[in-house]
Amino acid sequence: MTDTYDYDLIVIGAGSAGFSAAITAAEAGKRLALIGHGTIGGTCVNVGCVPSKTMIRAAEALHGAKAAERFPGLQGEARVDDWAALVAAKDDLVGTLREKKYADLLPGYENVTYIDEGPARLVDGGVEVGERKVTAPKIIIATGGRPAVPEIAGIDAVPTLDSTQLLDLETLPESLIFLGGGYVGVELAQMMARMGVAVTIVCRSRLLPQAEPEVGGALADALRAEGVLIMDGVAYGGARRNSDRAILIVMRNGETHDLTADHIVLTTGRRPNTEGLGLVEMGIKTDAHGAVVVGDDMQTTRPGIYAAGDVTDRDQFVYMAAYGAKLAARNAVLGGVERYDSAAMPWVVFTDPQVAGAGLTEAQAIKAGRTVKTSLISLNNVPRALAARDTRGLIKLLADAETDHLLGGVIMAPEGADCVQTLVMALKFGMTIKALGETIFPYLTTVEGLKLAAQTFDKDVAKLSCCAG
């Protein structure tokens, strides 16, 4: 193969998906070119998961001190003493992980050639990068995505920030307006509110519109209790500048509101990095949002060219990007016939309480023609929450009414993220709600709530003694 081509495989993009594909192929002895452009490591380590989650944890520490008063006899206090130092610590962590998990790995794979000579463009037989053409019979596109700018009149003329710029602010602002109620918006909005910023969330529908409606309402209640102003169900009328501040005009329930803040934070989704790749010329189909359309084998509409990660029309999570890229590499150059399967994919929103789920929502199950039954309990029914004096949240499970098999669920709880994998395993191995309800769980854990929610399908768990289920 390499007698006629420079490499067995070309991977475009040096983020999580790109590295996953490259390592998968390299470990199997394939020669490949990994083409990077910009900062190595991609979104997650540089501007996404790592920096945001360390800042969210810092905000949780602030809130934890102040929330100590929920226990009789306790009083706590904390404040932001040096914002610049906190940002610098975040940057140090990002730099360390970027080197350790990305740049420092490359020398260990002698059959990987890293090329960073400018943006890449697909051509027949390979890729043009910089002043040269690199050839291979198979290519994987893993160029990721970036924050989208909403189409609002005047938005370009006012002080705005994307999620990356927000986490790089040199000084802590006094006020912020967050556009969008998706997971990025609610995570960062709560984080900044806990840092002492006056925060408003504005969205067209509701918070977490893709999740169960009970979750969106409960999360809105939790954020409002911390002083966050939420204006949902709005239409955008435009934006304008007032000196060095931003004004957002919204319409809600027939009334017009002018909202003012130091910055408007754009958290209305992401758009794929496809410009300049030459997709149209290569006959590669994209969807209405510009994302590369791939089949379950991760192949595009151009035979021999695959794609993975945020550049595609698949799930926008770093672990799913790595998973899809691994499948793409195996199918492209290792003779694989693997198929993308997200039926039991976990997802997490790192608010407090955390929101985590897997499987179908009730609306998705009904749309798929399933006859469903649901169980819903508040954390007032979970002993762990009572002991912690923090009952913010709920657990909802969904089952097939005919077979009793679990179809999906969501956990909204302070420790929900660490509980969702139990739900994933139950879905993956086809458990019934009866089997889940009869499984032994440790007492005084949040994950015990899954058992209680499973039992709630046919009994009132409030009438059970501790561990009696």
Hey, what are 171's tokens? 């000084």
Q: Is 337 annotated to bind ligand?
A: no
Report the alpha-carbon angle 95-324-425, nearest 5: 95
Residue 33 per-residue DSSP state: E
Q: Is 276 annotated to bind ligand?
A: no
Q: Is 182 annotated to bind ligand?
A: yes
CA–CA distance, 433 with 443 (Å, rounded to integer): 19
CA–CA distance, 230 with 181 (Å, rounded to integer): 9
Residue 403: how many other CB atoms lie within 10 Å:
12
Reduced to 3 states (helix: H, G, I; strand: E, B; else coil), residue 54 is helix
Amino acid identity of 91? D
Do 321 and 153 contact (CB within 8 A), yes or no? Answer: no
Q: Is 180 annotated to bind ligand?
A: yes
Q: Is 430 annotated to bind ligand?
A: no
Cα Dmax for the chain: 76
Q: Is 185 annotated to bind ligand?
A: yes
Report long-range pairs for 314-322 (Cβ below 8 Å, ≥24 apart).
Answer: 314/340, 314/342, 315/342, 315/345, 316/145, 316/270, 317/345, 317/347, 318/16, 318/43, 318/44, 318/48, 318/49, 320/345, 321/15, 321/16, 321/17, 321/20, 321/142, 321/144, 322/16, 322/17, 322/19, 322/20
Hey, what are 20's tokens? 């996953």
Q: Is 250 annotated to bind ligand?
A: no
Q: DSSP of 56-91, one letter per residue?
A: HHHHHHHHHHHGGGGSTT-------S-HHHHHHHHH
Task: Give the list of residues 6+ apart from residue 72 with CB closer than 8 angstroms, or none.
Answer: none
Q: Is 168 annotated to bind ligand?
A: no
In total, the chain counts a number of residues equal to: 469
Hey, what are 329's tokens? 């590499």
CA–CA distance, 410 with 212 (Å, rounded to integer): 8
Q: Is the dihedral of CA 400, 403, 408, 414 positive or negative?
A: positive
Residue 442, classified by CB atoms within 10 Å of its CB into exposed (0-12), middle (13-18) or buried (19+), is: exposed
CA–CA distance, 101 with 128 (Å, rounded to integer): 27
Q: Is 184 annotated to bind ligand?
A: yes
The dihedrals phi and psi of 202, each to the nearest 5 degrees, come to: -120, 130
CA–CA distance, 136 with 71 (Å, rounded to integer): 64
Known binding positions for NAD(+) = 180-187, 269
Mark the binding-site residues, compressed into ranges: 53, 180-187, 269, 310
Residue set of the binding site for FAD: 53, 310
